[in-house]
Amino acid sequence: MSISPDSVLAALGTVEEPDLKKDLVTLNMIRDLEIEGSRIAFTVVLTTPACPLKDLIRTRCETAIHRDVDAEAEVVVNMEADVTMPGSNAATEGGSSGVKNFIAVASGKGGVGKSTVAANLAVALAKSGAAVGLVDTDIYGPSVPVMFGIDTSVKPRVNEDRKIIPLEAYGVKLLSMGFLVDETNAVVWRGPMVSSAVRQFLGDAEWGELDYLILDLPPGTGDIQLTIVQTVPLTGAVIVSTPQDVALADARKGVAMFRKVNVPVLGIVENMAYFTPPDLPDRKYYLFGEGGARRFAEEAEAPFLGEVPIEQALRESGDFGTPIVERDPQSFSARALVQIAQNTAQQVSIRNAEAPPTQQVEILHR
């Protein structure tokens, strides 16, 4: 007896997308179904190429078909991705900007690893197959150029429409305020000036089509951060903290700032979580206390995205100018950062399926 497409779709209709809590057929995620004898091939269109549940979804599809259609069928599951954007089921589909998701990486406290996380998040998402950009919004201490080995004395070019052409490294399109601002002049900048520069960066740059544009924010929760946050319709924010109480207190202020302007917190990253000496690989020393950021995530009712250990190779890769997920993908910190990138992409998909687009708050200049 030949296998009917309806029977396959009925089987796939029992497979739930674990995050979106609906079945793959209802979510319109099944494409290109082809049946030849006992060979059943189809494509699952995921909401992100960095989906951490790929293997789980594949196995569930195979199981459902073997159970409901034909125990002997050869099942070929192809995976593709079409990244969603806020409100993509609603009116904003195909919005004016080519950027689907703006994601801010922030903290309250300085030096906790925002730029390190932002850089590796960007490269990890790009390596998964997404189109990714990264903007360093820190005019006082831009670090993205260093982390990507870019010489800031070489200014980005402008195209015939007078749009800034982002640079590109490790598959990520990059712009840094460091390209625009002479560091010695930066101290006189005020919130509205930063805001208009960020707006120019985001609006007047030739980003093309991007799935994710990561914004590396300067430390703090003051005027400048608030203005940047209000300049773009953020899909959400990733908060980085070390497990220390002082850092967590500042991270709490960060969460409060985003919530005040209705930007969803995609989750918390614990950086410098512990140290494992290379010669004692089974030991974990919790130099800044154990699990503080994980507990904070629970308290703030925000997802916990993962923990990054203190690793010399991570610091070195930043100084060397190649993010660690590219330079040493097998290191502990690189594997943690890839997992964090997948978890972040997952939270973006969940947020886009559930929540309406973030309203851009009107900015009042004083």
Ligand X SMILES: Nc1ncnc2c1ncn2[C@@H]1O[C@H](COP(=O)(O)OP(=O)(O)OP(=O)(O)O)[C@@H](O)[C@H]1O
DSSP symbol at 158? B
Minimum CB separation of residue 331 from ligand X in Å reads 10
Contact segment (CB under 5 A) with Mg ion among 83-91, 140-148, 196-204, 304-312 equals: 140-148
113 binds, among Mg ion, ligand X, none (CB under 5 to 8 A by kind): ligand X
For residue 5, the one-letter residue type is P
Looking at the Cβ atoms of 17 and 311, the one nearer to ligand X is 311
Contact (CB, 8 A) for 296 and 268: yes
Nearer to ligand X, 98 or 141 (CB): 141
Q: Are 149 and 317 in contact (CB under 8 A)?
A: no
Nearer Cβ to ligand X (108/133): 108
User: Least distance from C-beta 109 to Mg ion, angstroms?
Assistant: 11
CA atoms of 200 and 337, how far apart (whole Å): 30
Residue with smaller CB distance to ligand X, 17 or 136 = 136
Question: Given the rule CB under 6 A, which residues bind ligand X?
Answer: 107, 110-116, 138, 141, 143, 219, 271-272, 308, 310-311, 314-315, 318, 333
Q: Which residue is nearest to Mg ion (CB)?
A: 115
* Nearer of residues 5 and 111 to ligand X, judged by Cβ: 111
Helix axes 54-68, 5-12, angle to 10 degrees: 130
| CB within 8 Å of 341: residues ≥ 6 apart | 50, 120, 121, 124, 125, 128, 325
Checking DSSP bridges between strand 132-136 and strand 172-176, what pairing results, if any? Answer: parallel
CB of 339 to Mg ion, least distance (A): 21
Q: Does 137 bind Mg ion (CB under 5 A)?
A: no
Q: What's the token pair of residue 277?
A: 């000496």
Look at residue 333 and give the partner it binds from Mg ion, ligand X, none, a contact being a CB closer than 5 to 8 Å depending on partner kind: ligand X
**Residue 319 to residue 149: CA distance in whole angstroms:** 8
Compose the 93-122 pattern: x for residues touching Mg ion by CB under 5 A, - for all others.
---------------------xx-------
- The sign of the dihedral angle between the CA atoms of 252, 225, 140, 324 is positive
Closest CA to 237 of 339, 347, 131, 324: 347
CB 230 within 8 A of CB 257: no
Q: Within a 13 Å sphere around the CA of 15, how many CA atoms are in the beta-carbon half?
A: 27
The nearer residue to ligand X, 55 or 316, going by C-beta atoms, is 316
Question: Which is closer to Mg ion, CB of 88 or CB of 225?
Answer: 225
| CA gap 165, 101 in Å, rounded | 19
> CB under 5 to 8 A by kind: which of ligand X, Mg ion, none does 349 bind?
none
Which of Mg ion, ligand X, none does residue 235 bind (CB under 5 to 8 Å by kind)? none
- We find the least distance from the C-beta atom of residue 314 to Mg ion, in angstroms, to be 14
Residue 271: contacted member of Mg ion, ligand X, none (CB under 5 to 8 Å, by partner type)? ligand X
Of 112 and 297, nearer to ligand X (C-beta) is: 112
Distance of CA 353 to the CA centre of its chain: 16
Chain centre to alpha carbon of residue 60: 26
The residue range among 32-40, 94-102, 135-143, 148-156 that interacts with Mg ion, by the rule CB under 5 A, is 135-143
Residues making contact with Mg ion (CB under 5 A) = 114-115, 143
